[in-house]
Structure formats: C-alpha cells, structure tokens
Structure 1
C-alpha cells in the first residue's frame, strides 16, 4: 500500500491526438451536395466550424482506428509526464466506439505502449465516459493499491456514417450527426506521488439520472443477424438534448461546488459540456459563472465524444495558475449521465 497525500490524485500530463486534416463545413457541403443555405444553417444553429475525421471524406476509407489515436495520445502523455510504461500500474479507458467488442481497445493500446501486468478497465459510455474513467482511476488510486494510472478516452464515430448518403433525404436526427461529430483521443497520467505545482483532481462525480427518460442518442452495433433491421447506425435527439443538458449541467455544477466547498467566485476556469458551439454558448450562459474563464474547443475539433474532456484539460492546464481552480462538466445523453470534476493547482 502506498502513502497518500491529502491533496490526493494529481494530473502529471495530458496528451491528445486528432486524425488527418481538419474538415470544414464547406468541404462537407461539397462532398454531400449541400448548398450554401445548409452551410449557413450549420453556422447559425450548430456553431461547429471544423472537425477531424478518421475516415477519408472523398474515398470513405478509414484512415485511423481508435487504438491508433489512443496510442498516440497515451504516448504523448507518458512522454510529457516523464513516466515509463513500466511505472504505470493501472489503465482505464472510456469510449462509446471501441474498435472491436473483443479484444478491448484499452488492452490493445496498453500492449502497443509496452504496458503489462497491470489492472485495466474499459468503460462503455458516451461523452461522460472520460469523466467516468477519471472517477474509476481516482477511486482505485485512493485505495493505495496503485500509484500511477494512464486514463484514456476517445471515439471514432465517422466509421458509422455512410459517406455516399444523400443528406438531403435524411431525417434531422441523422443529418445532424454529420456536422456535430469528429474523431479523436486523449490521455492523462494520474498519480498519488508528490508533484509540486501539479493540478490536483480534488473531486470527481458521475450520476446516472435517466430513469424513465427516452435515450437522447443512439449508436448501433450490429452483426450478421440484425444488420438489415433498417435502424440507422447513429441518431441524435437534438431537441431533447437542448431541453435537458443545460439543466443537468447546472445541477452538476451545484453538486461540485457543494462537494468542494467552493463559492461560484472561487472558480477561475469552466470546462463546459461540448456538444456543439451553439449549445456550449447556451449552457455557459445558463450556468452563470460570470467570473470563470471558459475553456472550450468543440468549434475546432467537433464533438469527438470521450476525447473532448482531454482536449479541454490540455488547454486548461496551460492556463491554470498557482492556487487557481477549475470545474469541468460533461453530460452523456444516450441514457442521461451527468458528470463533473474539480481541479486545483497546488
């Protein structure tokens, strides 16, 4: 058992990875034969300008797997933390799009990074999966049985899309996915070892709150038996998300403030949910943390699911000064999970 410090778990580093060149709305419009009005609609109602895709828009060929991206992000995080693979004794990953059902993508990534003889876990979840992975890793570290963890998160959603589809014929719940989402992966190195000046993970919380609620997002996984059901591979109830996510985010913010004992004015940086550019604006306004600096990236990266929190963390850690505090919030809309975390620079 290891001796634990009152400041508990610390983030030593963050690594991220994006596939290919960024794809703007004009390129999507040209590819799918959409007109200028469609581009204006994306700008006005979605607010996401760019995304990176692990599928070539022109050929429809997959150019990167989730394991490829997570390996790249994990390697960057290890190098930035100056931590060798043999020093990692716990690996946790959150994703909604594993490359295969088996072997688990987390174990493929660990193998590529040279990590072995460790505890490993893969969590199946939407956008809150990254926070759930942080939560699981932190709780296991605090048992004293582990010292240093690699926490991974990411998604490759583009492989579920038909690049030959006529978007003009798609219903809104399918059409919106082509502009909302991007692909990517991220990683952090967590430790209970002393690390002066590091950002401490002061609190993490995840809560399933979807009792009796219809799913807000669907992502199918099919085999030969059910591949011809006619169900779309991916669908998003954007209206339900608009209704529920701001209120869920506000409740999670209140819970994080209560758990940490911080006042709203104590929060220096806010990492809000990142469904889209416009939704982020609505949520930030609803939360009312007027003294906190917003840390967002979705307009540049697209909504890349379980990678987003890591891209936000990468930006936040570059801004978080000594003694400053940050709160991050992520909402999973498939069956409604609210999650949050609190950071403080020692």
Structure 2
C-alpha cells in the first residue's frame, strides 16, 4: 500500500491595482529624490501594490476581494470545482473584520459550503501554518482536496494624509517595506501533471523570553488612538532573522535526509530586497536557485510563499527539490516547507 502523500497541484495569486514605485511614494509624500535614493539603498524594494488609493485614501480592495480572486485562479488552474473542496484554511495578520472571519466570506464568494474552514491569525509564518493544518488534515485520509490561502493588506495602516517627516524611522521603513496581495494553493492527495509533493512542513515557536520584534494593534492609522498601529524593531529583525532562516533550512534538510547540494530551489523569507540578500547568504544553500519576488512586489506578508510557488512550479522538473522558509518576528516563529516535483 502506498504511503499517504499531499501534492501542491496549482497556485493562484492576486495584486491590488498597478505597481507603485519608490518615486511614486516620494512624489506623494514629498522629498522625491531623497526618498527614492534611501529606499533603493537601504531597502532594495522597487515596487509594491497597495489596496488603498494614495491620493484619496479610499480602500479599493478588501482582503476578501484579493483572496477570492486568488482562490478562483488556483481552482481554475487545478481544474477543481468549488464543490470538490473538502476544507479551506487562511493564514493572515490583517483580516477585514474580527467577525465574520474573512475565510468564510471568501468561501461563500467562490461557492464553497458545508466544509471545515479555519482562519489562522499570524504574521509572516501564517501561510506555512495554513499549509501545515491542511497537510495534516489531508494526511488523515478523511479529506481529498484543500484550498489554502495566505494574504495580507497593510492598507489600514497607511495614512495618506500624514507628514512622513514627522514619523519615526521605523514607521517610515514600514511604508516602504510592505505591499498588499493574496495567494492560494490547491492541495490534493493525488498527484497531477506539474504538481509537487509536499514532503515536509516545519513550524516552531522560539519566542520564550524574547521581546516581540513587531507589534500590530487592532486599529488602523486613520481610525484608532493617536499612537502608531505598527511598531517594529527593525534592528532586531535584521540581526536575528538570517540565523533563524539558516537553522530552519538545515533542520528541514536533515529531517528529509537530503544531502548538501540536493536542494535545487530556495524560497527565502522576503523581508525586503536588501534583507533577503543577507538572509540568502546566511542560509548558504549551495547550488540552489533563489526564487524571490520582494523587489517587485514588496513584502506581502502571508501572500509571499504563494507568489514564490507560482514562479517555482513551472520551473520544476521531475525530481527537483525546493525548500521554502518564513520567519515571523512578532513573537519569533521559524517555519518552512519542502517540495519535490513528481
């Protein structure tokens, strides 16, 4: 009898609106040349997509809008109907509402009903947590097909009427780092052409006794108390994430008994263009081809792994192996997953 296995069959993504360059941000908030040069030199991210209009402040796309579009594309690419989906899992740090859960709004929109749904509240490891839940449930033998989503929108934390010169450096960094987006993957217990075997999912909290690297409040910049809704210790993140990512990839390779050089593709954390380069260097996965998207899309939080997977799957030949890593700084979580093309 064959051992149970789970396969990533197809991926779909969605971005809100046109790309916004560093020059666009500089033009909107003043100091075009200085802003653009600083962003290019210290952040290394060139574009991002935002759900909020920079001129009016209007939120034009909700998280449910983006998730529904990504889910529809993933299902279509997989050739799976909504009625064939046995469970839905969403990882996000920025749901549209406390209730109803965004995952249930999305399921309704794409025509899924009568199945278990789960919404995981988490930062950058939420997508891997969603993969982990779906992976375990599919391996149980009770379910055949899962729709897994990861999405985030920083729109609620962007006050387009603010004077950036009055913001602390950490708040200015957040404005450059993050973008909005959503991703979805169809997981099944049967292989299909172009699918990848989800060999391993790694997830562990390592935050005991450590101060949070990021705190996000339950309000946005324009509708809450007169304090910053997002507080980030970027220096701590810069110091700690590379080593955490390196340890995560090493544990996964060891768990799978893969030798050095067996990894063909590396999907590293996507903090920023500059930070990702440092992280990849620390991970030291010799010979692996890097799959990154942060320079063009910004840090899209829980959507990141799906944008990476969307680029990865068409490139993988049978037998190719890939490792993805995500690190969450809010209370320090290490996460990752490993794939092998069938």
Q: 1:79 to 1:5 in 2, by over 3 A?
A: farther
In the alignment, does 2:291 pair up with 1:295? yes
Residue 242 of structure 2: which of 238, 243, 246 is its match?
246
Once the two structures are TM-superposed, the CA of residue 179 in structure 1 deviates from its matched residue by 0.4
Once the two structures are TM-superposed, the CA of residue 7 in structure 1 deviates from its matched residue by 6.2
Structure 2 unmatched runs, 5+: none
Residue 308 of structure 2: which of 292, 305, 312 is its match?
312
Equivalent position of 2:78 in the other structure? 81
Specify the SS of the correspondent of 2:261: helix
Equivalent position of 2:278 in the other structure? 282
| In 2, Cα distance between equivalents of 1:98 and 1:301 | 20
Equivalent position of 1:337 in the other structure? 333
Superposed CA deviations along residues 170-207 of structure 1, whole A, max 9, x for unmatched, are 11111111000000000000011243552100000111
| In 2, Cα distance between equivalents of 1:47 and 1:175 | 14
Q: Is the 8 A contact 1:95 1:130 kept in 2?
A: yes
Equivalent position of 1:36 in the other structure? 33
Once the two structures are TM-superposed, the CA of residue 227 in structure 1 deviates from its matched residue by 3.5
Equivalent position of 2:319 in the other structure? 323
Q: 1:197 to 1:77 in 2, by over 3 A?
A: closer
Once the two structures are TM-superposed, the CA of residue 213 in structure 1 deviates from its matched residue by 1.1
Equivalent position of 2:153 in the other structure? 156
Residue 210 of structure 2: which of 213, 220, 233 is its match?
213
Once the two structures are TM-superposed, the CA of residue 35 in structure 1 deviates from its matched residue by 3.7
Q: Is the 8 A contact 1:176 1:236 kept in 2?
A: no
Q: Is the 8 A contact 1:5 1:194 kept in 2?
A: no
Q: Is the 8 A contact 2:202 2:337 kept in 1?
A: yes
Specify the SS of the correspondent of 1:202: strand
| In 1, Cα distance between equivalents of 2:224 and 2:70 | 33
| In 2, Cα distance between equivalents of 1:190 and 1:5 | 18
Q: Which of structure 1's runs of 4+ aligned residues deviate more than 6 A?
A: none
Structure 1 unmatched runs, 5+: none
Alpha-carbon RMSD: 1.4
Residue 131 of structure 2: which of 109, 120, 134 is its match?
134
In the alignment, does 2:16 pair up with 1:19? yes
Superposed CA deviations along residues 1-39 of structure 1, whole A, max 9, x for unmatched, are xxx943610011000000000000000001001241221
Normalised to the residue count of structure 2, the TM-score between the two structures is: 0.97
Q: 1:263 to 1:30 in 2, by over 3 A?
A: same
| In 1, Cα distance between equivalents of 2:160 and 2:330 | 24
Q: Is the 8 A contact 2:9 2:191 kept in 1?
A: no
In the alignment, does 2:231 pair up with 1:232? no
| In 2, Cα distance between equivalents of 1:41 and 1:149 | 43
Q: 1:320 to 1:187 in 2, by over 3 A?
A: same
Q: 1:31 to 1:161 in 2, by over 3 A?
A: same
